[in-house]
Structure 1
Amino acid sequence: MNGNNSKESSSGLTWQLIGIFGGGIAALFVLFVLSLGFGEAKIPAGTVLNGLLHRQDVMEHNLLWDIRMPRTVIGILAGAALAAAGALLQTITKNPLASSDTLGINAGAYFTVVLGLVFFPALQQQFPFLLAVAGGLLAALAAYLLSGGKSATPVRLALSGMIVSLVLGAFTSAIHIFKQTETQNLFLWGAGSLIQLDWDGVRYAWPYVLVLLGAAMFAGRQFDALELDESTARSLGQRVGLTRALGLAISVLMAAVVVSVVGPIGFVGLVAPHLVRLSGIRKHSLLLPASALWGALLITAADTLARVVRSSVGEMPVGAVMALIGAPWLIWLVLTKMKNISGSSPGQSSMSVGGAALRMRFVPTVILMTVLLLAIILVSLSLGGTRIPLDELLGSLVGKGEGSYSVLLNLRLPRTLVAACGGIALAVSGVLIQSAVRNPLADASIIGVTSGAGFAAMLVMVAWPAMTIAMLPFAAIAGGAVAAAVVFSLAWHRSLNPSVLILLGIAVSAVGSAGIQIMIVKASLYGASSYIWLTGSTYGRSWDQFYSLFIFLLILLPLAYYLGRKFDLLGFGDDSSVGFGLPVRGTRLYAMILGVLLAAGAVASVGTIGFLGLMAPHAVRMMIGHHTRRSIILSGLFGGLLLVIADTIGRTVMAPVEIPSGLIIMLIGAPYFLFLMYRSLIRKG
C-alpha cells in the first residue's frame, strides 16, 4: 500500500514538474516570439523565426536583433533575478509577503543610483552596481530590523518595507525636483523600463544573474533547512545565521543588478514564487529555477502587453503594468491563502509605539497649540519675497494697512489658511484611520486613499486640463472614495480585520501609484505643476479652495468628535469591544469613511502629502495618551501647525524658487517615522 502511495506521489510530482517547467518554457517561447514581433512596426511571427534562424542584412532582421532582442532578453534576465530573489527572501524571513520591493530593496537601489547620477557621476559611471547594492542592502536591513526580524508578522514586514520605500521615495522625489534637468531622463527608468538601445545592458547583467542564480541553487539544501524550525535546523548541524546572511546577500545582489539596468519593478518576486509553491514544489534546487522561469515569463508578458495596448502617445512602463498584474494577485493571496493573518488581538494592534505618555494637561495644551498656530500663521503671512512689517500686517488684516500690502495679503492669506485646513484634515484623518484599523502605523496613504485620489486628480489634469480647477476636488474625492470602497468591500467578509485592511490597502495603493506613473510618463509631466502638485503644494491656492475645504471640515469634524467615544472602544480588540456592546464592523466603517473623506478633501486642496497623518496623531498620543476626542482636537491643531510651517519654509528658504510643502513634510516625517518604528520595535521586544 505504501509503495502504491509512493508511486502516486512520485507520479504527481513528475506531472507538476512537467507542468511548471515544460509549460513555463513553452509559454515563455510563445511570449518571446510575440515580444519580438510587437512594437511601432509589427513583424510577423514567420519573419521573426526566419530572422532568428537565418539573419540577413534587412531592416526587419536588424530591428529584431539590435533593438527588440536586447529588450526581450533583459526582461527575461530581470524577471528571473527578481523572482529568484523573492523566493529566497520569503525563505530566509519565513514570510510569504517578502520580496525585493516589499522589503524596500528596489527603492533603496533606485535612490542610490539617482543620488550617484546627480552628485557622484564619475562614481556612478564606474561602479553603478556597487551603489545599487549598497542602497538595496541598507534598505532591506532597515525594513527587516524595523519589522522585528525573525519574529515579524507578514503585516508588519509589509508595513516596514512600505515605510522604508516611502522614506527613500521622499528623498528621491527631492532630488528629482531640485535637479529636474539632470533627472528628467530617469522618470521612465524609475517607473521600470526595459527599453534598450544596444546589448550593453544584457552584457553587463547576464554574468551576475547566472552566477548568483547558480550559487543559490548550489546552496539549495542549506536553504531547505531554513524551512524547518530554527532549533531543529541547528540540531542538524546547519549554520542558520550564515545561511540567512548568504540568502540576503544573493537576493540583494540580484535585485540591485536589475534596478541598475531597468529600474525598480515590483511584484515579480511576490507572484512568481507563490505560483511555483502552489504547484507543490518546495525544494530550493527546483524552486529557484522554476521561480526564475516564471518570473521571466511574467515580465515578458507584462512588457508584451504594454506594447500591445500602446496608445498614440506611447507605451506604458513595464513596472506599472507589472503592478496592475501583481496587485490583484496580492489581494487574492491575502483573501484566500493567508487564513491566520495576525493583528486582531489587542496585543497585536496596540496603538502605542513605545514610551509612556507625557500626560500633559489637555486644556492648557489646546490653548498653547492654538496660540502657536495663530502665531505661525501671522509669521507666514509676513514672510516671502516681500516682507510685511508686523504692524502693517495687523493693520491690513483689519482693512487699515497700506494698499500694496493688502493686495499681497490677498494672495498669501488664502494659501496659508488652505495649508492650515489641509493639515487639520490630514491629521484628523490619520487619527480616525489608525483607530479603525487599530494600527499606529496606518494612514490614508497606507490604505490606498492617497494614491486613488492622486490618480483621479491626475487623470483630470491630463484628460481635461481646462476643467482642472472646477473638477479637481470632485475627482480627488471620488478617486479616494473608490479606492477605499474597493478595500472595504474586499475586507468586509473578513470582518474588516485591521491587518487585512492594511494589506489590501497596500495592493490598491500600488494600482493607484502605477496609474500615476503612467500619467506622468505619458503626458511628460516630469517638471510640470501637476507633478509638483503630486508631491503636495499650496502654491496659487485661492479663497474658493479655502471656502470649500472649510465647509468640508465644518461638516465632518463635529461628526468625528461626536463618534469619538465609540472609536475609543475599538482599541480594546474585537472580542472586548463586542462585550461592551459595540457594533465593531459598523463603527470601524464609520471611522474609515470619515477618515477617507477628510483625506480625499485634503488631497483635492493641497495634493498628496504623506506622513502628516502619521506624525500628528503619534505626537499627540505621546502628549496625552490614547483618547480619540482629545486626539481629534490636538492632532488637528498640530497638523495645521506643521503644514503652515512647511508652506512657510517652502516659499522662503530658496525664494523665488518654491519647495513643495509635501516634500518638506516628507523630509521631516521620514526620520520621525523611522524613529516611531524603532520605538515600537523596542516596546515589542
Structure 2
Amino acid sequence: MKPALPARGARGWLPFAMLAGGLLLLAVLAFASLTQGLSHITVATAFDALIAPKDTPDHRVIHGVRLPRTAMAVLSGAALAVAGALMQSVTRNPLASETTLGINAGAFLVVAVGTVFWPGLLHQYAFLFAVAGGAGAALLVFGMGGGRKGTPIRIALSGMIVTLVLSSVTSALLLLFEQSTQGLFLWGSGSLNQNDWSGVRFAWPWVAGGLAAVLLAVRHLDLLSFGEETAQSLGHRVAGTRMFAMGAGIVLACVSVSIVGPIGFIGLLAPHIVKLSGMTRHAWLLPLSAIWGAVILLGADTIARGFTTSAVGELPAGAVTAFIGAPWIVWLALRVSKHAASSSGAESRASMQISLLAKRMPYPLLVLLFAALLILVSLAALMSGTLHLSAEQVLSTLLGHGKALHEKVLIDLRLPRLLTAASVGVALAASGSLMQSAVRNPLADPQIVGVSSGAGVGAMLLLIAFPALPAGWVPVGAFAGGLAAAAIVYAAAWRRGLSPTVLTLVGIAVAASGSALINILVVYAKLTLAPALAWLAGSTYARSWTELGQTLPFILALLPLAWWLGRRVDLLSFHDESATGLGLPVRRTRLLVALLAVLLASVAVAAVGAVGFIGLLAPHAARMLAGSNHRRTLLLSSLIGAVLLVGADWIGRIVLSPREIPSGIVVALIGAPYLVFLMFRSRAGK
C-alpha cells in the first residue's frame, strides 16, 4: 500500500517553522479559550488572572474551570494525534485513526456498559474500561479488514461497519437504561468540560510517558515504511515494533476517551497536516503531530464555546472536529484513489465473489419459503400487542367479520404499521442490492455511503427552521437531505469515473459529516425535538396509512425499473474494461443504478428514519442462497428485507412491552453477528 503522501525529505528550516508556527498558534488559541464561555471575560481580565491571580469570581472561573479545560484539550489533542500517526505507520494505511478503526466506538460502548452494570468499578477504573473497548474494536476492525494485507478502503469500511454496530448497541443501552446513563449523550459526542484539575492530573503522565516511549523507538518506526520484507532483511523485529506502536496508540487514544469522550478525526487530520510539509520521519512527525493535534482540538473547542448560550448550552467539541474532518477524508479519498486505481478492479472483483452455499435449494422454493416466512412473521406481529389477538381473530377481522374493537386495533393501528415496515424493508434491501453492484463492493449500503445521515440532517433542519410545520413534512426534508448527500458523493467521484473506491470513501466522509451535523443540531434543539430523535433512531412506531401512502407508490414505480436493469447490473460486476468491451456504458449505467438506489433509500428513510444494515444484510443472504443473478437476487433480497424489518418491529414491541425498542436498533443487534461472520468470510485474499 502506497502512502497517501510521498515520502520525501523536508527542507532544513521547515520542521522548525512548523514547530514554531504550531507553538505560536497553540499559545494564541489557549489564551483565546480562556475568554470563551457563558461568563464573558475580557482579554485583560484573562491576562491579569495568569500574571497576578486574585480571589475574584472571574479569576476563580479561569483557574478552576477554563485553565483545566484548556490543558485537557492540549493533552487530548496531542494524544489523539500521536495515536493516529502510529496507527497509520503500523497499518501503512493513510486512513487509519482512532475513529476509522472503531476505537472511539468500542471505548464508548464499554464505558456505557460499565455505567449501567458496574458504576462503582467504572468510577475507579474508567481508563481500563476504555482501553478494553478500544483494543477489542481495533482488533475486530483489523481482522475484518484483512489484517496487514487489508487495503485502505477495506479497513475504512470495516471500521465504519464496526462503529455502526457498536453505536447501535450503545444506543440500545442508552434507551433501555435512561436513568443510569443520563449525561452520556453529550460525553459520547466528545465534551471537554472540566470542573477541576483531576482529569488533567490523571492524563498528563500517560500522555507524556507514551510520547516519550514512542520517541525512543523512532528508528524502529521509520523502518516500517520500507515494508515487512525489507525491514526483516535489515534485522528488524517487525512484529514486535508493530505490537508496541499499536498498543501505544490505543492507550493514548483511550486515555483521552476515558476523560473527555470519543473525539474523532484528530488522529487523521494532524499527522497529514505535518506530512503535507514532507516530514515523514517519526522523530519530527510524532512531536509535530502532537502540537498540531492540540491546536486543532483547542481551536475546535474554542469555536464550539463561541456558540454557547444559556438557552442552548454548548456544542460538543467532538461534533465540531468531525464536521471539520469530513472534508479531509474526501481529499484523502481522492488521493488514495490515484494509487488504488490500478488495483481497484481486482479488489472489487474479489470482494464481490461471496461464497455460495455448497448445496442450494431451487430458486422457486426459496421464494416460496421466504414468502411463507414473511406471512408467518406478519401474522405474529398482528397478534401481538397490549391487546393480544388469536390467529383466528386476526383472520376473521381482516376478512371483515371481526369485532369493532379488533377492527380498530388491526385496521387503524397494526396493519398500516406492518405494511409500512414491509415496504420499507423491501426498499432498503433493493437499494442495498443496487448500491453494492454500482459501487462494486459488498460492504456498501445506504447508511455507509451517507444517504441515511443526509436524510437525517434534512429532517432535522426542516424541523428547526420551520417548527410550525406538521409532522407530515418531515419526509420532504429527509428526501431532500438524502438526495443532497448523494449528489455530493457522486459529484466528488465523477472526475475519477465514478470509481467504486472513491464512491465508497467519499460516502464515508459524507456520512461522518452528516452524523456530526446531527449531533450539533440535537444539542442546539435541546429537548424540543424528542419525536425527531426517535425518528432518527429508525422506528416504525405509530406509522399509519398516511406514511404507507407516501411510500408505496414510489416503491411500486422504482422496483420494476430496478428489475429491468438486470442484465446491465450483472455486467457491472466485471472489470470496467471488460464491461465496456461487452458494449456497456459503464459510467452512465453506474450512475443510473446508484441514483435508483439513492431514491429507494431516501423513500425508506423518509418513512421510518435511518434504519441501517438491511441494505447490507439482505442482499448478501440472497446472493449466498441464490447466486449472483441480479433479478433473482433483487426479488429474494426484497423478501428477506421485508422479513427483517417486520420481525424487528415485532421484536421491538414485545421484548420490553409496553416500552418499545426502535426497529433500527433491533435490526443492528440481530444483524451484527452475521455481519461479523460475513466480513471475515469475504476478506481480501479468500
Q: Partner of 1:26 in structure 2?
A: 24
Partner of 1:126: 124
SS across alignment from 2:339: coil
Greater CA deviation, 442-451 or 367-376?
Answer: 367-376
Q: What residue number does 1:369 align with? A: 370
Deviation per CA, 1:443-478: give whole Å up to 9, x if none.
Answer: 001110011111211233444444242211111111
- 1:455 maps to which residue? 457
Match of 1:242 in 2: 240
Q: 2:438: which partner in 1?
A: 436
Tell me if structure 2 keeps the 8 A contact 1:184–1:526.
Answer: no
Q: Is the contact made by 1:346 and 1:571 (CA closer than 8 Å) also made in structure 2? A: no
- 2:344 and 2:369 map into 1 onto residues whose CA distance is 37
What SS is found at the alignment partner of 1:603? helix
What is the identity, as a one-letter code, of the residue corresponding to 2:559?
L
Query: 97, 100, 121: which one pairs with 1:99?
Result: 97
Q: In the alignment, which residue of structure 1 is the partner of 2:513?
A: 511
Give 1:562's match in structure 2, choosing from 541, 557, 564: 564
Deviates more, 1:514-523 or 1:407-416: 514-523
Per the TM alignment, residue 677 of structure 1 is displaced from its structure 2 partner at its CA by: 0.4
Shift of 1:123: 1.3
> Any idea what the Cα deviations from partners look like across 1:80-112, whole Å, max 9, x if unmatched?
000000000000111101111111111111111
Alignment partner of 1:113 out of 111, 114, 117: 111
Structure 1 equivalent of residue 5 of structure 2: none
In structure 2, the partner of 1:161 is 159
Distance 2:562 2:205 in 1: 58
Deviation at 1:163, TM superposition (A): 1.3
Tell me, in whole angstroms, the C-alpha distance in 2 between the residues paired with 1:352 and 1:318: 42
Distance 2:109 2:323 in 1: 23
Worse-superposed segment, 46-55 or 522-531: 522-531
Cα distance between partner residues in 1 of 2:344 and 2:99: 26
- Is the deviation greater in 506-515 or in 389-398? 389-398
**TM-aligned CA deviation for residue 290 of structure 1:** 0.4
Partner of residue 645, structure 1: 647
Cα 1:676–1:590 change in 2 (3 A) is same
User: Residue in 2 aligned with 1:576?
Assistant: 578
Matches for 1:288-303 after TM superposition, within 5 Å? 288-303=286-301
Structure 1 unpaired stretches of 5+: 1-8
SS of the aligned residue for 2:13 comes to helix
The residue number in structure 1 matching 2:78 is 80
1:323 counterpart letter in structure 2: A
Please name the residue that 1:502 is paired with.
504
1:3 aligns to what?
Answer: none
Contact in 1 for aligned 2:312/2:526 (Cα 8 Å): no
Distance 1:675 1:468, change over 3 A: farther
Question: For 1:38, which of 36, 39, 48 is the aligned residue?
Answer: 36
| Partner SS for 2:442 | coil
Task: Report the counterpart of residue 190 of structure 1 in structure 2.
Answer: 188
C-alpha separation between the residues in 1 aligned to 2:232 and 2:643? 54
1:336 Cα offset (Å): 3.8
Contact 1:355/1:679 (8 A) holds in 2: no
Kindly indicate whether residue 343 of structure 2 is the aligned counterpart of residue 341 of structure 1: no
Conserved? CA contact 2:165–2:672, under 8 Å? yes
**1:588 is matched with which residue: 579, 582, 590?**
590
Structure 1 counterpart of 2:171: 173
Q: Residue 47 and residue 338 in structure 1: after superposition, are their counterparts in 2 closer, same or farther (change >3 A)? A: farther
Counterparts of residues 403-442 of structure 1 (less than 5 Å): 403-409=404-410, 410-442=412-444
Q: Which moved more, 1:44-53 or 1:318-327?
A: 44-53
Q: What letter is aligned with 2:575?
A: G
Find the counterpart in structure 2 of residue 90 from structure 1.
88
The letter of the residue matching 1:364 is L
Kept in 2, the 8 Å contact 1:344–1:574? The answer is no
- Partner of 2:344: helix, strand, or coil? coil
Code of the residue aligned with 2:256 in structure 1: it is V
- 8 A contact 1:420–1:644 mirrored in 2: yes
Please, which runs of 5 or more residues in structure 2 have no aligned partner?
A: 1-7
Residue 284 of structure 2 is matched in structure 1 by: 286
Separation in 2 of the partners of 1:357 and 1:154?
31
Choose 288-297 or 366-375, whichever is displaced more: 366-375
Mean CA deviation greater in 140-149 or 287-296: 140-149
> Which residue of structure 2 lines up, in the alignment, with residue 331 of structure 1?
330
Aligned to 1:610: 612
Which of 219, 224, 227 is equivalent to 2:225?
Answer: 227
Contact 1:454-1:516 within 8 A present in 2 as well: yes
Instruction: Find the counterpart in structure 2 of residue 6 from structure 1.
Output: none
Conservation of the 8 A alpha-carbon contact between 1:193 and 1:319: yes
- Over aligned residues, Cα RMSD in angstroms? 1.7
CA contact (8 A) 1:27 1:297 kept: yes
SS in 2 for 1:344: helix
Report the alpha carbon displacement of residue 592 of structure 1 after superposing the two structures with TM.
0.8
The answer to whether the 8 Å contact 1:109/1:135 transfers is: yes
Deviation at 1:656, TM superposition (A): 0.9
Q: Which residue of 1 aligns with 2:533?
A: 531
Partner of 2:3: none
Q: Could you tell which deviates more after superposition, 104-113 or 78-87? A: 104-113
Give the Cα–Cα distance (whole angstroms) in 2 for the partners of residues 288 and 672 of structure 1: 39
Q: What is residue 675 of structure 1 aligned with on the other side? A: 677
The Cα shift of 1:362 comes to 2.1
Contact 1:323 1:511 in 2 (8 A): yes
Q: Secondary structure at the match of 2:352?
A: coil
Q: Which moved more, 1:429-438 or 1:598-607?
A: 598-607
TM-aligned CA deviation for residue 113 of structure 1:
0.8
Partner AA of 2:143 in structure 1: L
Which stretch shifts more, 568-577 or 516-525? Answer: 516-525
2:474 to 472, 475, 482: 472
Please tell me whether the aligned partners of residues 83 and 270 of structure 1 are also in contact (alpha carbons under 8 angstroms): yes
Q: Which amino acid aligns with 2:354?
A: V
Q: What residue number does 2:382 align with?
A: 381
What TM-score does the superposition give when structure 2 sets the normalisation length? Answer: 0.96
- Per-residue CA shift, 1:520-575, capped at 9, x if unaligned? 22333499333222221111111011111111111111111111211111000211
Encode CA deviations 1:382-415: one digit per residue, 9 max, x unaligned.
Answer: 1111111222211211211111100111211000
Range with greater deviation from structure 2 (296-305 or 233-242): 233-242
Alignment partners' CA distance in 2, 1:247 and 1:598: 44
> So what's the TM-score if we normalise by structure 1?
0.96
Cα deviation per residue 1:368-389 (whole Å; 9 max; x = unaligned)? 2222212321221111111112
Task: Find the residue that maps to 1:14 and give its secondary structure.
Answer: coil
